[in-house]
Amino acid sequence: MDETLSLGRIAGVRVGLHWSVLVIVALITTALAHGRFPAAHPGHSPVAYWGLAVLTAVVFLGSLLAHELAHAVVARRNGVEVDGITLWMLGGAARLRGEAPSPAAELRIAGVGPLTSLLAGGVLAGAAVGLAALHASGLVVEAVAWLAAINVLLAVFNALPAAPLDGGRLLRAYLWHRTGDRLRATRGATAAGRALGWFMVLTGFADVLFGGNLSGLWAALIGWFLIAAATAESRQAQIRGVLEGVPVRRVMTPAPVTVPATTTLRDFLAEGPFGPYRHSAFPVLAADGSVTGLLTVRRAQAAPQQAREHTTVREVMHPLGDVVTATPDEPVLDLLPRLQDSPVRRALVLDQGRLVGILTVADITRALAWPSASEGPRRRPPELSKEQR
């Protein structure tokens, strides 16, 4: 989930908002200003209802952020890098780079989220009681009480033992500890996540069809999200299971076809696709044989036809500083996130500055598709998502 608006950094963690946050803010604001607040405390002006509803929705987003920040901080303390946090329509997501190193670390990272929400709910419940004792406005007490209840509900829902919820992480930590097999533990947790998701989808639509309750659509939407997220997590776990411990040198294409930096685009394009240039991207070499960049066919084609005779490869290539590089002994799993973020989806493999290979997502896909010599026929391997391609 990519962010639309950056909020900067909190506790060293990059925080952003996705545009869909506006949907949840609008839904909460409308539900409170049009329904709960007037029903519980009639007689106030529309401005009071709507103003307090907006403030309540913003505080709710703050509680979601606190939940995800807790995950991020504990993850860092347990040696897991954090790319950032994005708040979106169905809550928040802390983007962790890599896996927890042990079941105990998984337990700590997953468990701190529901505990944070539960603590927030308790503090807000105490605040509501205190405000009521001080004879504060009943409308304000209602808003604080709603925030307390929603945080407790958030804690309970996230504690359900189904991936990708925090409870699913706790279940995976337990299964991992019991079996010693992280992949098997992930399969169990994601299977539970899909089961919960389908239950929510079916009951949500049943509520709409047979009970006439449109709020069932919200439950069905969350259920569908759980199914999709659990399936994606299972696929990623299978990819990690295949590539665990595999170095780049075993997956890369060695001795790739290169192109001299002084070659004109006209000469380059004239040699493909039936000549030596049969691929879609080529490392570019300087006169001394050192790699200086990467040329893609798309970049070459983008140059005006009349200028190709005088334009050299050096002028249109991706400079080496903008290209992902790796070493032959680097684990493929460590390289994969950088490869996915690269606009050219390729990495140049360098050994002490010397070009020895090129790695693409297609190379990784072939590695995933190749059957192991120690096993019989197996199911079709997990496919990379469109973002990974």
Contact 112, 146 (CB under 8 A): no
CB burial readout 284-295, b (16+ within 10 A) else e: bbeeeeebbbbb
**Domains of the chain as residue ranges with CATH:** 5-159 (no CATH), 248-369 (3.10.580.10)
Distance CA 25, CA 69 (A): 20
| Contacts of the segment 295-302: beta carbons below 8 A, 24+ positions apart | 295/259, 295/268, 296/344, 297/272, 300/265, 300/268, 300/269, 301/269
DSSP state of 33: I
Banded pLDDT at 8 (limits 50, 70, 90): confident
Whether the pTM exceeds 0.85: the reply is no
> Would the CA dihedral through 49, 55, 61, 62 be positive or negative?
negative
Catalytic residue check, 68: yes
Indicate if the pLDDT at residue 380 is higher than 70. no
Q: Which of 3, 68, 142, 233 is catalytic?
A: 68
Which pLDDT belongs to residue 378?
Answer: 44
pLDDT digits (tens, 9 = 90+) for 59-87: 999 999 999 999 999 999 998 888 888 88
Distance CA 265, CA 279 (A): 15
pLDDT digits (tens, 9 = 90+) for 16-53: 888 888 888 898 999 999 999 999 999 899 999 999 99
Indicate if the pLDDT at residue 375 is higher than 50. no
Which pLDDT belongs to residue 202?
Answer: 95
- Averaged over 141-170, what is the pLDDT? 94
> What is the chain's length?
389
Q: Which residue has the higher pLDDT, 1 or 354?
A: 354
Banded pLDDT at 182 (limits 50, 70, 90): confident
Indicate if the pLDDT at residue 328 is higher than 70. yes
Structure tokens at 84: 């950032």
Banded pLDDT at 337 (limits 50, 70, 90): confident
Distance CA 163, CA 161 (A): 7
Banded pLDDT at 322 (limits 50, 70, 90): very high
Banded pLDDT at 338 (limits 50, 70, 90): confident
Banded pLDDT at 387 (limits 50, 70, 90): very low
- Averaged over 138-159, what is the pLDDT? 95
Distance CA 110, CA 158 (A): 10
Indicate if the pLDDT at residue 388 is higher than 70. no
Q: What is the C-alpha radius of gyration for the chain, rounded to an integer number of angstroms?
A: 27
Contact 346, 339 (CB under 8 A): yes
Distance CA 259, CA 313 (A): 8
